[in-house]
Amino acid sequence: MKRVFETKEVSGSQNWLLTRFDALVNWARANSLWPMPFGTACCAIEFMATAASRYDFARFGMERQAFSPRQADVLICAGRLPFKLAPVIRTIYDQMPQPKWVISMGACASTGGIFDNYAMVQGIDTIVPVDVYVPGCPPRPEGLLYGVLLLHKKIKGESLAIPGLRDEQPLDAHGLRLPPEQIDEISEPFGNSIHQYRSA
């Protein structure tokens, strides 16, 4: 594992701390992620279990759950997202200051899951950009923790020099995040749901 800090003996007596600025910033960001829980269904129960003492994601710098998006770093969508909540999660995402990340927790948030119907968003990536998808129905706390650790890894690989990485990406002129064809493609039925009965 790459070490972030190095201490060196310089001119005998004093200790100097040397690091890349990138590595220092990313280390700080990754290890103090404040989650904004957006719990809508059974995944939120597993999320609470992850936050509680047995699994305790405070160990990874997520001690403070930010119930205000203005003080949050990572939006965790735990549960299915109906179309009625789509403008809500988009508003919350827009209210979060950069840098910000999104974890899509569970099958429903990631793909619509078993709810391939008229009321449900088929994957929150049609609404907000997603950094880590955690599969499962619902994922166990270990799964969510693994997702958080993957996010740490991703954050530590970021560079401040990448232009536009932390720019806000507002909705386009149609009020969409992605081109319509791409949303249709993402939302295509798959697995067992292609056999579901369609009337009309």
Q: In the complex, which residues of this chain contact other proteins (CB under 8 A)? A: 83-84, 86-88, 90-91, 116-119, 121-122, 126-127, 171, 173-176, 180-181, 183-184, 186-187, 189, 196-200
Of 21 and 197, which has the nearer Cβ to other proteins?
A: 197
Of 137 and 176, which has the nearer Cβ to other proteins?
A: 176
Of 50 and 126, which has the nearer Cβ to other proteins?
A: 126
Bridge-partner residues for 18, per DSSP?
6
Of 163 and 170, which has the nearer Cβ to other proteins?
A: 170
Give the shortest CB-151-to-other proteins separation in angstroms: 25
Bridge-partner residues for 8, per DSSP?
16
Look at the alpha carbons of 92, 97, 98, 99 in this order and tell me if their dihedral is positive or negative. negative
Q: Which residue has the tokens 């088929």?
A: 122
Tokens of 133: 């998808």
Give the shortest CB-135-to-other proteins separation in angstroms: 21
Inter-residue contact 58 to 145 (CB < 8 Å): no
Distances (CA, A) of 107 to 49, 69, 80: 18, 24, 8
Beta strands in 74-183 (DSSP E): 74-78, 101-105, 132-134
Give the shortest CB-92-to-other proteins separation in angstroms: 11
Alpha helices in 96-140 (DSSP H): 106-111
Give the shortest CB-83-to-other proteins separation in angstroms: 4
Of 142 and 184, which has the nearer Cβ to other proteins?
A: 184
Give the shortest CB-154-to-other proteins separation in angstroms: 26
Size of the chain in residues: 200
